[in-house]
Structure 1
């Protein structure tokens, strides 16, 4: 597998330690151009498949898990960037060998969501995923007005898989407001692309 490390500058990755599993974020370079293209592609897909798929979405529209197969320049660019980001987050460093990137090919499930006012996605997990991610194409004005709503809530992944000896497990969760450069969950007419790498 050819290296994609040139697509992601590791110095730009921000890591928050909400749980034992890290929460990492990065801004896509030239996001405005990519988002414009993705919004057109997602809107066209939504018009072609009005019913979409029902999974974690409460209202709104969700595509099938085939975003990574759409074959559009913008969707391919985002998928390539997401894989490069996962590679950087998975790379290990040792004194003996330096930085070692994983050499396997990622198996990917990716889809698009469009939520308008009053829509949301239920708290859910991605079992079997090594990394899960979300990318906002349009945050519906949240970046200018936080009262629009649309916070993204993260649940401790460890709480989704209780040890066999634990008779009862309560799911811990925290709400994080992403920095201004990373838009939060889309509250109104906001196409987004969700990724599960595993």
Structure 2
């Protein structure tokens, strides 16, 4: 008769993926979509080797031509970042939450064949993307355009033993890529070191998003 073992299995080294619906997104999206498409029609794309599609400069200049809806958007974004982060024990301020500021914003417009290559956002604690309009992306049809998130450990868990996997469902993604299908009005945030990409988009309607990087405000 087999002995019963007291086994405790704890998934460790988790990576946070924050997904939330932005309040009043319909109004925000209406203004942002028009502003982005107007800007796309008059401005050349920013030189970004990772992007197939149109992109605006990776700085704060977007506040000049889309400031009103962006302010409302980033009020929600910085609130989430504050709730999801606290000072470490090294500061003597444990359990206190730092305030956050946006330091880079840019918009992306992708049509049929558009994509974003594998990359991370060095120097940012939190990065994210807001979906102004996901175009023709749905869960029912394969139109591409998913946000792809790569295991920070790379393919090592699968390279060592591709015929095995951990028995806990929470660990079945080890060594894999997770594909997240976005919805219009959704915001996704992740650590800046998290490598990610956008799968080739196969829709007709423009896929419009706003990407951003955040930094903590440490003097408050």
TM-score with structure 2 setting the length: 0.63
Work out whether 1:20 is the aligned partner of 2:14: yes
The unaligned stretches of length 5 or more in structure 2 are 1-10, 155-174, 189-197, 216-220
Instruction: Choose which of 69, 90, 94 in structure 1 pairs with 2:63.
Output: 69
The unaligned stretches of length 5 or more in structure 1 are 1-16, 160-171
Aligned to 1:77, what secondary structure does the other structure show? helix
Deviations 1:128-165 (A, max 9, x none): 11011111111112136432121211123465xxxxxx
Work out whether 1:174 is the aligned partner of 2:191: no
Larger relative CO (CA 8 A, sep 6+): 1 or 2? 2
Aligned to 1:100: 96
Aligned to 1:123: 118
Deviations 1:154-191 (A, max 9, x none): 123465xxxxxxxxxxxx55223347674896934111
TM-score with structure 1 setting the length: 0.70
Output the aligned Cα RMSD. Answer: 3.3
Aligned to 1:169: none
Aligned to 1:109: 104
Report how far residue 93 of structure 1 moved: 10
Distance in 2 (CA, whole Å) between partners of 1:68 and 1:90 is: 26
Aligned to 2:142, what secondary structure does the other structure show? helix
Aligned to 2:218: none
Report how far residue 75 of structure 1 moved: 1.5
Distance in 2 (CA, whole Å) between partners of 1:124 and 1:73 is: 29
Work out whether 1:193 is the aligned partner of 2:210: yes
Report how far residue 195 of structure 1 moved: 1.0
CA 1:192–1:107 in 2, change beyond 3 Å: closer, same or farther? Answer: closer
Distance in 1 (CA, whole Å) between partners of 2:110 and 2:12 is: 26
Number of aligned residue pairs: 167
Q: Say which one has the larger Rg.
A: 2
Aligned to 1:69, what secondary structure does the other structure show? helix
Aligned to 1:134: 129
